[in-house]
Chain A
Amino acid sequence: MTKLSEGTIEALSNGTSVSDAVLQLVNIRKLDGGNGPSRFRVMMSDGRHTLSSFMLSTQLNHMAEENILAPNCICNLKRHVTNILKDGRRVVIILEIDVIKPAKDVAGRIGDPTPYTEGQSKGPQSAPVPENRPPLQPQNRNEAVNRGLNRDFGKKAPSVMPNTPGGSSKVVPIASLNPYQSKWTIRARVTNKGSIRTWSNSRGDGKLFSMEIVDESGEIRVTGFNQEVDKFYSLIEAGKVYYISKGSLKLANKQYTSVKNDYEMTLNGESTIIPCEDSCDVPMVQCDFVSIGDLENRDKDAIVDVIGVCKSVDDISRLTTKSNREVSKRTLSLMDMSGKVVTVTLWGEEAEKFDGSSQPVVAIKGAKLSDFGGRSLSASFSSTLMINPDIPEAYKLRGWYDKEGHAMDGQSLTEVKGGSGGGNTNWKSLSDVKTEHLGHGDKADYYTCVATIVFLRKENCLYQACPSQDCNKKVVDQQNGMFRCEKCDKEFPNFKYRLILSANIADYGDNQWVTCFQESAEAILGQNAAYLGQLKDSNEAAFDEVFQHANFNTFVFRNRVKLETYNDESRIKATVMDVKPVDHKEYSKRLILNIRKLAANH
């Protein structure tokens, strides 16, 4: 009969590490955790005691699933890690185990082991058990969260975490980190790892990377600069758990992140990052989701976490940025149980990889809220995009959407471009705009209408603007052949013409004075600003002709209205955001629909 390593259970329960212990597997049970892979809980016996708090590390799940590990088999526990849970119980994580005698070859339980309880000692131990604690390896030693640890930030008391003789550090919760204690170790999962960013300015060059980490108590943003980038960047993988110690803490710059922590961490020369083998109790992600309906109440530029069902997604488009870089962009519409829909913009690789077919649940941590089109979201470089995440909110949304959500049109917070009449366009007649007092609220209102141009003001429709590419400021004619731009603080020998066109548009019910800027003015006039400027100076008749020709054309206008106050006087200002030719088919369909609706209501 194979001899079991008696005393192993007691040793393990006392926190001692053992290697190559021969144990008998008494029982193995599958735990359905819901999140992530299944876990197997094992009860082992050393002939003297049994202990049920063994967990199989997930990489060995196959041994359980293939019944290699079965009740009664004899095993050699080669490698393990002992963790202490929040309530003080110990859990032995089996990292490496060999079956030296399969279950079928074993008659039954060896010996008469009894369950081990703390404090027991059944006489002298015969199995060799090292007396002194093994040298520090963070994987093998992490002790209970010190319940007495002060969680008040700002207390300048010296560290309440004495180092044990072995040099081991206690693991503390992220929520307790503060700038006044430097000797700590945390155990956290990386939820978001940013890419390396470099900079070059008058003071020199540098590089940095940032990541967000989370544990049971909270989350925090971590940044590494220069040498720390070289040391740690390739070591760290998003989704994995690490022991991190001795970073510096400082007050967080909340502007750039939605991470909920008053502090943020910077890695320094003393910091260490070591992979953690067992991570079952470290949560995957921490999100504080805002309902889409609530986004209207948040300030623009706020950083928020959102989750919703991707109702529709647009094709990818490519833009060239001001610095002449090409970037991919894709928009999708997200709806949640508030019934409201918001447009989300993805960029770069995320935009390219995104697959919105089958209407997935999409969660974004750290999305940027903008007032573009009312309210819209953008996934910035520091946002984390999750498709069908394994979290309860996602399941709830999926259930709601399959039952009711899919049939809802949803009300969009984002003014969508285009006369395609897709449920989100806010069609109004010009009299509606006045009777509904659009623009009278705190925010600007947007609406779309079909209207005819009835008057164009050709006087003062052109101004001389700064010739610099990104500057449109009006330049001052120095009368010496030079033109000065105050914004760029430079003088130029030339300028570029730009349009600000004042027009009156009308429909069957009312009219509206609107201002059209460059793009929409050029679309209405059918000529570009530079050409018009030239014409104005050289051929007045031809210039007038352009305006005659443009008059009485009908377009679909997308306008922005806002109440503006100048010196005690309040006036509604309307600006044309976009001009498009009328899509008669769409227009007809909409009119017929409205007529039928009106008829049905009587």
Chain B
Amino acid sequence: MASLLDASKPRINCSMLSQHIGRGVCFVGRVEKVHPTGKTFSVSDGEGKSATVELNEPLEEELSGIVEVIGMVSSKGVITTTTYNILREDKGIPFDLELYNEALKVIHDFPQYYPFEVAASG
């Protein structure tokens, strides 16, 4: 799993999950529902679609708002978490998930200008 953090982790949304099965990704979305066990929760992306996130250990804190999950996409399209960050919105600047989604699309439409793979491996 540690090696996952060394490789490049492209930022994706739900519609790109299927193209990244078995690969490490970075998913930013809004926390929707947290399972009572605390071991899994759902997130929605900037397009309104949902994905499921699984954790190794149950959640120890209240999870809400925007979260950035780094993990791997399983064959079932579920993200198994390596690590996650909560993007705080209490400093007055709300996170614009739709705008993030637009930027995401640009990165994927013009990969020649966003050579993250090269940067990561180099």
Contact = CB atoms under 8 A, between A and B. Distances in A.
Determine if chain A interacts with chain B.
Answer: yes
Interface of A: 584-585, 588-589, 592, 595-596, 599
A595 B96 contact: no
Contact of B99 (A588, A595, A596, A599): A588
B interface majority secondary structure: helix
A584 B93 CA distance: 10
Contacts of B117: none
B86 interface: no
A518 B102 CA distance: 39
B103 interface: yes
A599 B93 CA distance: 30
A595 B113 CA distance: 11
A589 B99 contact: yes
Interface of B: 93, 96, 99, 102-103, 106, 109-110
A599 B102 CA distance: 14
A592 B103 contact: yes
Contacts of B102: 588-589, 592
18 contacts: A584-B93, A585-B93, A585-B96, A585-B99, A588-B99, A588-B102, A588-B103, A589-B99, A589-B102, A592-B99, A592-B102, A592-B103, A592-B106, A595-B106, A595-B110, A596-B106, A599-B109, A599-B110
Nearest to A584: B93
Contacts of A595: 106, 110
Contacts of A599: 109-110
Contacts of B106: 592, 595-596
A588 B103 CA distance: 8
Given A585-B93, A588-B99, 16 more contacts: A584-B93, A585-B96, A585-B99, A588-B102, A588-B103, A589-B99, A589-B102, A592-B99, A592-B102, A592-B103, A592-B106, A595-B106, A595-B110, A596-B106, A599-B109, A599-B110
Contacts of B99: 585, 588-589, 592
Contacts of A589: 99, 102
A595 B102 CA distance: 11
A454 B102 CA distance: 31
Nearest to A588: B99
Contacts of B103: 588, 592
Nearest to A585: B96
Closest 9 CB pairs of A and B: A592-B102, A595-B106, A588-B99, A585-B96, A592-B106, A588-B103, A592-B103, A585-B99, A589-B99
A596 B99 CA distance: 14
A419 to B, nearest CB: 14
A297 B103 CA distance: 43
Nearest to A596: B106
Nearest to B94: A585
A220 to B, nearest CB: 58
A592 B103 CA distance: 7
Contacts of A588: 99, 102-103
A588 B96 CA distance: 11
Nearest to B113: A595
Nearest to A589: B99
B104 to A, nearest CB: 10
A238 to B, nearest CB: 50
A599 B110 CA distance: 9
A585 B110 CA distance: 21
A266 B41 CA distance: 85
A584 B99 CA distance: 11
Nearest to A592: B102
B122 to A, nearest CB: 20
A188 to B, nearest CB: 60
A596 B103 CA distance: 11
A85 to B, nearest CB: 69
Contacts of B110: 595, 599
A599 B112 CA distance: 13
B107 to A, nearest CB: 10
A110 B18 CA distance: 101
B113 to A, nearest CB: 9
Contacts of A592: 99, 102-103, 106
A153 B102 CA distance: 71
Contacts of B109: 599
Interface centre among B93, B99, B109, B110 (most CB of A within 10 A): B99
Nearest to A586: B99
